Structure 1
Amino acid sequence: MKHFFLFLYLCFGVLLASQAQTGSIRGTVRAEGKVVPFASVGLKGSSLGASADENGAFVLPKVAPGSYRLVASAVGYQPAERSVTVVAGQPATVSIALAASSSALGEVVVSGTLGEVVRSESAVAVELYTPRYFQKNPSPCLFENLTMVNGVRPQLNCNVCGTGDIHINGLEGPYTMVLIDGMPIVSSLSTVYGLSGIPSSLVERVEVVKGPASTLYGSEAVGGLINVITKNPAKAPRFSADIFGTSHQDLNVDLATAAKVGAASTLLSTNLYGYNQRRDVNQDGFTDVPTQQRVSVFNKWSWQRPEQRAASLAARYYYEDRFGGQLSWRPEFRGGDSIYGESVYTSRYELLGQYQLPVAGQKLLLSGSFNQHRQNSAYGTTRYNATQRVGFGQLTWAKSPSIRHNLLLGAAFRSTWYDDNTPATGSETRNQPDLIHLPGVFAQDEFRLTPDATLLAGLRYDYNPRHGSIVTPRLNYKWGTVDGSRVLRVGVGNGYRVVNLFTEDHAALTGAREVVVPEALRPERSWNANLNYTRFFSTKTGTFSLDGSAFYTYFTNKISPDYDTDPNQIVYRNLDGYAISRGVSLNTDVTFTKPLKLLAGITLMDVFRMERPVGGGARRRVAQLHAPVFSGTYSVSYSFTQLGLSVDYTGQVSGPMRLPVQPNDFRPGRSPWFSLQNLQATKRLGPHLEMYGGVKNLLDFLPRHALLRAFDPFDKTVDQNNPQGYTFDTSYNFAPLQGRRTFLGLRYSL
């Protein structure tokens, strides 16, 4: 027995000695400056692990001395590793940062159904992009950031003033609805310039829906929608700053601060951008890129209410001074015919808010917005002064009458007031501002057929005083496995668009061409069918996500600009025929076990119209302008974890596309294949600070012959030594007129 007690004594002594020689690891898991609650943390190659608490804090006790790899993971984020050394008797303190994953199964989206739903459970395919993804190729505005999204093409429409719009699956900008927090803030007149002033510091995520969404959102959502979700002030970093400049001497500053004031939280975000260099690399006497000075200020408030009822109010002010033209232009030449310039002053403000009514047991959400856009422009000798006011209100009622049904009923009202100095709102005797009221009601039922299958049916009714009643139905079916690793979606929908050309395409009012509308325009209608399949799986080498889609859209009453009949005009009329947009797209997201991540996407599409010539005859096939048959995007990221360094290689590839040319034009009617590639390195300097820099447009690609007869922008000598009858033209564009440039920036988040 005495030997037994001696044995216990020795074992107990050894155990005490071993306990005295251990250490511990404690720290915090964060992502983009915010804590990540309940993340999983463990030591690689061992069974030792723990879960973080609601503040992102974790402790691993009783760790033997040595060097380890600490691994952290959480739903919605990419796993991350961090080296840590444990010393006996001492706690090792670390902070580990996670990056958001665009393919995470647990992400929540709202754009497909107007209600929060886990992305893998949504019957409507919704693509989601976080600011961290756009930071792989930093840009001063959301418009440029969207070049990284497969199937979405920010298109410059004027080589002088730099105006543009967003194409989805080859469809022109007016078919894309841009929303902020689900409300049509950026639309119509403001689409051309308003996208430039959305600070990246206020963006929580960007949701993209490809295909008609008129059943929920009404007119304009024909080709798809882009919904910019702003940050919740209660969860935003206390302070953040993102400042970068380029070798072309432009400077972008994003600042944001968040604070708690009693039961309310507030977020104040400011964006400043300045570029004042008149570069002329192609030596045509014109600025390659317009100069810009702009400021955007955004303030959002949210309130804590019982039962987590929503209550928020936000406001934004935006001002921009933009110029493009001949290098010798000065403000005193504005509107004159001696030195050509396109000068645009833009001023707009926006208000938007949401309030959930305090009705017990019911989810009644009241949303509203108002914006005013003022524009004072001079395109050569053509002056364009316009004001637009848009008011929007919507009441939705969400109810689950049974475990298998999610019902959504809604009523919306949009009022648009528009006035300008063109014949669009006036006559020879008096001015007649345009005022349109568009009321609508909609209903949607999400029916759970089986645990794996869901049917989504929706119907909307709108009344337009000019076009009468408009009905838009849709039907979506989703089948998916319980774990969300495989999802199949099939959708059929109808879209419509009530057109006001001058609010959507006033860039055509440049001094180069005259806008002609020879007939009363009827509203456009479209039918769309799409098939989407998503597959998630894991192997020993990493996690993989594949997302494939096929789409087909048929248009009637389509309104298309005719650049060909008269080189001095753009003629708009309803199509005598039909138009089709069809194609396939594939996205892949691969995260390897090594610190390597790959995102890539390709789109193959055929966009055309079958039209009857103005003089009569058989219908002919005409390819859509600025719609490449092939386009692709990619992003390759590699992290050197021990150095706190990451490298991002991003780019886009575009195949040939039809371009607007003049009769007997010496310039090619189709663009060449081209690729825009970028390289960036990011160095973490601490838990809150990082530095980044790199090169844009590595191959220094520049389109040729962007301007026709740049030496005679007012067509004063068009009849001299001009056998082909060419006139000044600014619309021949297929790629940015910016060559290779370096950039350097700092990013701070607290």
Structure 2
Amino acid sequence: MRNIKICVLTVCMSFIVFFCPAQQRTGNQRADSLRAGLESQLDEVVVTGTLKEVRKSESPVPVTIVSSKFFRRTSTPNVLDALYLVNGLNPQVNCNMCNTSDIGINGMQGPYSMVLIDGMPIVSSLSTVYGLSGIPNTIIERVEIVKGPASSLYGSEAIGGVINIITRKSDQSPRFFLDYNGSTWGELTGNTGFSTKFSNKVSTLFNVDGYYYNTPKDQDKDGFMDKTLQKRISLFNKWDFKQKYNKDASISLRYYNEDRYGGELGWNKAHRGFVDFNELDDDATSEGYNADFVLPNGYTIYNSKYAKGFRVPRFEKDAEKEAWKANVRSANPGAAFADDMKYQESIYTSRFEGVGRYRLPIEENITFDASYNQHNQNSTYGTEIFVADQKTLFGQGYWDREFGNHSLLAGASYRYIWFKDNTIASANGSFPLVTKMPGVFIQDLWKTGKKTSLLLGYRFDYDVTESANGSHKNVVHSPRAAFKYIPNTNNTFRASVGTGYRVVNIFSEDHRALSGQYKAVFGESLKPEKSLSGTLDYEGRVATENIGLTYSLGAYYTHFFNKIYPVRNETARTLTYFNVDGDEYAENIGASLDIALNFRFPLRITAGASYNKAQLIEYERDEQGNKTGKNTERNDFEFSPRWMGVYSAGYDLTEKFTVDLTGEWKGPMLLPTQGNIKTYDGSGNETGSVTDPRPERSPWFTKMNLQLAYRLNNGLQFYAGVRNIFDYVPKNLLVNVKDPFNDLSNPDVYGGLQFDTEYNYTPQQGRTGLVGIRYNF
């Protein structure tokens, strides 16, 4: 039935293309336009591949450009949603309840992707999953994507690739602009901005972006919301300055605030911050039970800063409930109770960012960049409380100059990361994790001939990290080489080999595990995770009177080693972190194809397909992570599909009326299931087992979107569309939904499936209609 729908839609699009009365250009005009379009793509300036402005055709490093025009064709409110439609990128939903997401590149998981704003590494760790959705499309000029390791220029985290979000220049922005839309799900998105010039040298851009969604929906009738309720606002201000010798300077500031929560229907927000009451006696010499008040992170504290009271378990009989309350009151006469607490995940986020660039107003090309961000987060995951603060400071200076056929670039950088949370990992906030990382880098872009060029780069970083549970010092070397060959203007070949690395940063990403009753320990002086990658790319172009075509083929291999993993000790309640043994590693093999077609009639088509096999080669281990043999086995990365792709088609029905079809498709990916779990009776005798009913791999699926836009001469545009036309939503994502706190099943004693929120592979939002208005003046 779904295939029939696809065929019908394809036929309808074909009818529109060939029979609707669109304004036609003459053959020569259209051919000239096609050739000009291809030439303009080659002349586009990119900076992410080499850290300096070069034409895309001259860059030895392939760079994918996503323009602001593309964002307007997708009806997406933020950059995260739009990047679903870029081939090779895999934005992944991490949690069914709080709907957080990050972005993987070429099969690698989100933490191994570096996200930059105007070239500055200020989106990382906490902000990767809680800040990307707040970057509005209206302030973006373009997004540049480099797939593959890029640590020789950008340092830590650039293992899978780099996504550089480049904001608009204020002197090139509309004097006033707005974009407002509403959806059939009850979502309201509003964006307003303006720019002004104070003189020929000073201009500014200001933008306010807001999102509101407060309509709980439960289409699959499991008692839990399909989409997280959210209220967020983002304020952005950028100043641009022109100086002597055509040197520029800029500073931009952004403030982001969000309140999101999801979970069981009917949640009472007053219950936020109520925790489980645990009887725990850490003193072996004491007699009996002393009723320590223990938060889920294992720390024996109880005050209003972290918890407001105790959740009442879901007893089957009222008499059991009252007996439990009496027991708690005997230890704390003033205890507050949440009698009917629903499972929820609630996140308050407050974030500030500052980015600055200053090019010295002299003949030499000397640039100084700096950024600072502060991320504050207050989260509750059911009865777990996670409070975290992160500050990141980055600065770099570099010099570039032409010497004949050589374009040299050299510089130095310093990154400072300060992170603390309320878990044992940072001694309840008294001993934060601190990373200090100075580095130097050098690069030579060498035009070895009329048709060839060679890029050589090297970076040296010194990583010093201190934490409550261990410290380490590491020297990191990151070389890179890239070669480009252009036999003619219509064909380009590129090859590269490079390294990527990522310093130890376990706390911010493993907060769900670390906010449990486990102490994090470094089992050794941890080394940075590293990768070595090789890529081959070919790009071709064809322009005739009837068609303009660009296409590219790419292949890559990545060897990933020093992966960090935890060994869990249930008795000591510790998570001890090690690097994998030398015979354990990960590898990532893949290829991609992208095409873009422009026709003599006003039709545009793009399509892309990627194949990726990402696997971890490791020893056979038990549930605690201990080796059980000498043989190694291959296991696929979770949330990494072998096949995935994107597609889009745009047609101008008239000069003012445009229809755009966009979509993505994905093949099966490995998902985290609980497998087969043994069950026991009250005496500890094994009674059988239960198997997780959810399939280990997701099905093939596609999500398609349609937008109609009508433009008036005065800069006003109306648009309407449908997201997820075929109403595809994942099924059976949750287990044990009637007992999310595991009160009734008590798996620690009796075994059985536990409620979890990590099993997901695409957003649960079904078919959604929307209407909106845009205006540029």
CA distances 1:494-519 after superposition (whole Å, capped 9, x unpaired): 111102112234355688x9796673
Pick from 645, 655, 661: which aligns with 1:632? 645
Tell me, yes or no, if the aligned pair for 1:185 and 1:369 is still in contact at 8 Å. yes
Is 1:316 aligned with 2:254?
yes
- Partner secondary structure for residue 156 of structure 2: coil
Q: Distance in 2 between matches of 1:44 and 1:674?
A: 38
Written as runs of structure 1 = structure 2, the 5 A alignment for 1:412-451 is 412-426=413-427, 431-451=430-450
Is 1:674 aligned with 2:701?
yes
Tell me, yes or no, if the aligned pair for 2:379 and 2:385 is still in contact at 8 Å. yes
Written as runs of structure 1 = structure 2, the 5 A alignment for 1:446-457 is 446-457=445-456
Tell me, yes or no, if the aligned pair for 1:147 and 1:154 is still in contact at 8 Å. yes
Residue 163 (structure 2) aligns with: 226
Q: Distance in 2 between matches of 1:467 and 1:377?
A: 31
Pick from 555, 559, 563: which aligns with 1:558? 563
More deviation, 254-263/332-341: 332-341
Alpha-carbon distance change, 451 to 112 in structure 1, aligned in 2, over 3 angstroms:
same
Tell me, yes or no, if the aligned pair for 1:441 and 1:462 is still in contact at 8 Å. yes
Q: Distance in 1 between matches of 2:433 and 2:732?
A: 39
CA shift, 1:575, in A, is 2.9
Consecutive unaligned residues in structure 2, runs of 5 or more: 1-23, 275-310, 312-340, 465-471, 677-691
Is 1:504 aligned with 2:509?
yes
Residue 462 (structure 1) aligns with: 461
Tell me, yes or no, if the aligned pair for 1:150 and 1:603 is still in contact at 8 Å. yes
Alpha-carbon distance change, 579 to 44 in structure 1, aligned in 2, over 3 angstroms:
closer
Tell me, yes or no, if the aligned pair for 2:245 and 2:361 is still in contact at 8 Å. no
Is 1:655 aligned with 2:667?
yes
Tell me, yes or no, if the aligned pair for 2:243 and 2:361 is still in contact at 8 Å. no
CA shift, 1:46, in A, is 9.6
- Partner secondary structure for residue 234 of structure 1: helix
Residue 408 (structure 2) aligns with: 407
Residue 386 (structure 1) aligns with: 388
Residue 129 (structure 1) aligns with: 66
CA shift, 1:719, in A, is 3.8
CA distances 1:204-248 after superposition (whole Å, capped 9, x unpaired): 000000000000000000100100001111111111111111100
Q: Distance in 1 between matches of 2:167 and 2:98?
A: 29
Alpha-carbon distance change, 112 to 688 in structure 1, aligned in 2, over 3 angstroms:
same
Alpha-carbon distance change, 206 to 76 in structure 1, aligned in 2, over 3 angstroms:
farther
Tell me, yes or no, if the aligned pair for 2:456 and 2:480 is still in contact at 8 Å. yes
Tell me, yes or no, if the aligned pair for 1:467 and 1:523 is still in contact at 8 Å. no
Q: Distance in 1 between matches of 2:189 and 2:577?
A: 38
Count of aligned residue pairs for this structure pair: 657
Written as runs of structure 1 = structure 2, the 5 A alignment for 1:552-701 is 552-559=557-564, 573-576=578-581, 577-612=584-619, 613=621, 614-617=626-629, 618-641=631-654, 644-664=656-676, 665-701=692-728
2:707 maps to a residue whose letter is Q
Q: Distance in 2 between matches of 1:514 and 1:637?
A: 53
Higher RCO (C-alpha under 8 Å, 6+ residues apart): 2
Written as runs of structure 1 = structure 2, the 5 A alignment for 1:99-138 is 104-138=41-75
Q: Distance in 2 between matches of 1:562 and 1:272?
A: 43
CA shift, 1:616, in A, is 2.7
2:451 maps to a residue whose letter is D
- Partner secondary structure for residue 661 of structure 1: coil
The Cα RMSD (Å) is 2.6
Tell me, yes or no, if the aligned pair for 1:192 and 1:504 is still in contact at 8 Å. no
Q: Distance in 1 between matches of 2:265 and 2:447?
A: 63
1:407 maps to a residue whose letter is L
Is 1:298 aligned with 2:305?
no
Tell me, yes or no, if the aligned pair for 2:554 and 2:592 is still in contact at 8 Å. yes
More deviation, 152-161/663-672: 663-672
Q: Distance in 2 between matches of 1:70 and 1:176?
A: 40
Tell me, yes or no, if the aligned pair for 1:590 and 1:597 is still in contact at 8 Å. yes
Tell me, yes or no, if the aligned pair for 2:182 and 2:771 is still in contact at 8 Å. yes
Structure (1/2) with the larger helix percentage: 2
Tell me, yes or no, if the aligned pair for 2:425 and 2:520 is still in contact at 8 Å. no
1:634 maps to a residue whose letter is Y
2:365 maps to a residue whose letter is K
Q: Distance in 1 between matches of 2:756 and 2:233?
A: 31
Q: Distance in 1 between matches of 2:550 and 2:593?
A: 10
- Partner secondary structure for residue 489 of structure 1: strand
- Partner secondary structure for residue 69 of structure 2: helix
Tell me, yes or no, if the aligned pair for 2:520 and 2:576 is still in contact at 8 Å. yes
Residue 194 (structure 1) aligns with: 131
Is 1:540 aligned with 2:582?
no
Alpha-carbon distance change, 707 to 365 in structure 1, aligned in 2, over 3 angstroms:
same
- Partner secondary structure for residue 671 of structure 1: coil
Tell me, yes or no, if the aligned pair for 1:75 and 1:104 is still in contact at 8 Å. no
Residue 93 (structure 1) aligns with: none
CA shift, 1:139, in A, is 1.5
Residue 206 (structure 2) aligns with: 268
CA shift, 1:558, in A, is 1.5
Residue 89 (structure 1) aligns with: none
- Partner secondary structure for residue 616 of structure 1: strand
Tell me, yes or no, if the aligned pair for 1:335 and 1:379 is still in contact at 8 Å. no
- Partner secondary structure for residue 502 of structure 1: helix
Pick from 361, 364, 386: which aligns with 1:362? 364
CA shift, 1:76, in A, is 7.5
Written as runs of structure 1 = structure 2, the 5 A alignment for 1:103-182 is 104-182=41-119
Tell me, yes or no, if the aligned pair for 2:30 and 2:546 is still in contact at 8 Å. no
1:575 maps to a residue whose letter is V
Alpha-carbon distance change, 236 to 508 in structure 1, aligned in 2, over 3 angstroms:
farther
Alpha-carbon distance change, 514 to 171 in structure 1, aligned in 2, over 3 angstroms:
farther
CA distances 1:588-633 after superposition (whole Å, capped 9, x unpaired): 0100111111000000011001101223311111110001010010
CA shift, 1:451, in A, is 0.9
CA shift, 1:294, in A, is 0.4
CA shift, 1:472, in A, is 0.5
Consecutive unaligned residues in structure 1, runs of 5 or more: 1-42, 48-68, 79-100
Alpha-carbon distance change, 74 to 237 in structure 1, aligned in 2, over 3 angstroms:
farther
Is 1:242 aligned with 2:215?
no
Tell me, yes or no, if the aligned pair for 1:76 and 1:105 is still in contact at 8 Å. no
Residue 37 (structure 1) aligns with: none
TM value normalised by structure 2: 0.81
Tell me, yes or no, if the aligned pair for 1:75 and 1:105 is still in contact at 8 Å. no
Alpha-carbon distance change, 260 to 421 in structure 1, aligned in 2, over 3 angstroms:
same
- Partner secondary structure for residue 146 of structure 1: helix
Pick from 500, 513, 519: which aligns with 2:523? 519
- Partner secondary structure for residue 746 of structure 1: strand
Residue 56 (structure 1) aligns with: none
CA shift, 1:45, in A, is 4.6
Q: Distance in 2 between matches of 1:435 and 1:127?
A: 34
Q: Distance in 1 between matches of 2:747 and 2:164?
A: 51
TM value normalised by structure 1: 0.84
Alpha-carbon distance change, 720 to 486 in structure 1, aligned in 2, over 3 angstroms:
closer
Q: Distance in 2 between matches of 1:75 and 1:538?
A: 6
Q: Distance in 2 between matches of 1:72 and 1:507?
A: 57
1:730 maps to a residue whose letter is T
Residue 536 (structure 2) aligns with: 531
Tell me, yes or no, if the aligned pair for 1:517 and 1:572 is still in contact at 8 Å. yes
CA distances 1:534-566 after superposition (whole Å, capped 9, x unpaired): 001112321000011001000111135799x99
Written as runs of structure 1 = structure 2, the 5 A alignment for 1:466-505 is 466-481=472-487, 483=489, 485-505=490-510
CA shift, 1:394, in A, is 0.5
Tell me, yes or no, if the aligned pair for 1:44 and 1:71 is still in contact at 8 Å. no
